[in-house]
Amino acid sequence: MKKLTKAGRISVPVVILLLAVLWLFPMWRIDLRAPQYPGGLSMQIWLNDIKGDVPVINGLNHYIGMKHIVKEDFSEFVILPAAMLVLMGAGLLVLLLRKKLPYYIWTAAFILLAAYSFIDFYRWEYNYGHNLDPAAPIQVPGMSYQPPLFGYKRLLNFEVLSQPDVGGWCYIAAGILMVSIAIYEWKKQ
């Protein structure tokens, strides 16, 4: 097995630190603005929690028949921290081995976890926005209330913006760094 270059060896602790940031800052945020909320409402999704104006958002969601957002409904808040710890531990192993193949495997595992996370997040948003209580006080025929996975969307009189927060940008940076270094290592064979 070929050895990692210096760039590859340096990238490993950087990626581990970027992943460690996920315990310090939210990964994602969904911001809502409407005339009746000029300061806006915000929900921050952390690695293991949901914070922000969740009680107010739940109160509003009740009127359109959306299920309440509660931390206990999300197994992801147990699975994702464990998965990040495994990824960080695997990074330490890659650093000890100093070989290209473990780096490639580590990068592939990261990509698979990232893809699963986005698919799971989309599924969560879809279920919350489409599976509405038929007895809800406000019903708009044919309307669903799924926030965008990424970007802007108008839902009735609310403008919704969904985007990475500090932790999410660090996670994205870790992935870009890993893929870039994996390509670099591959070309250096």
Instruction: Give the residue extent of every domain in the chain.
Output: 6-187
C-beta atoms surrounding 135 within 10 Å: 7
> What single-letter DSSP state applies at residue 3?
B
Asked if the model's pLDDT at residue 101 lies above 90, the reply is yes
Q: What is the CATH number of domain 6-187?
A: 1.20.140
Dihedral angle sign, alpha carbons of residues 110, 113, 119, 121: negative
**Residues composing the chain:** 189
Residue 90 confidence (pLDDT): 98
Dist. CA 174–CA 81, nearest whole Å:
16
**What radius of gyration, in Å, describes the C-alpha atoms of the chain?**
20
Q: Any idea what DSSP says for residue 72? A: G
Q: What is the pLDDT of residue 123?
A: 92
* Residue 136 pLDDT level (bands cut at 50, 70, 90): confident
Residue 173 and residue 165: Cα distance in Å, rounded? 12
pLDDT surpassing 80 at residue 189: no
The confidence score (pLDDT) of residue 141 equals: 83
CB-CB neighbours of 130 under 10 Å: 12
Residue at 115: amino acid letter: A
Sequence-ordered alpha helix ranges (H) in the chain: 6-20, 54-64, 76-97, 100-130, 166-187
pLDDT of 142 > 90? The answer is no
Query: Which segment of 13-17, 92-96, 152-156 scores lowest on mean pLDDT?
Result: 152-156
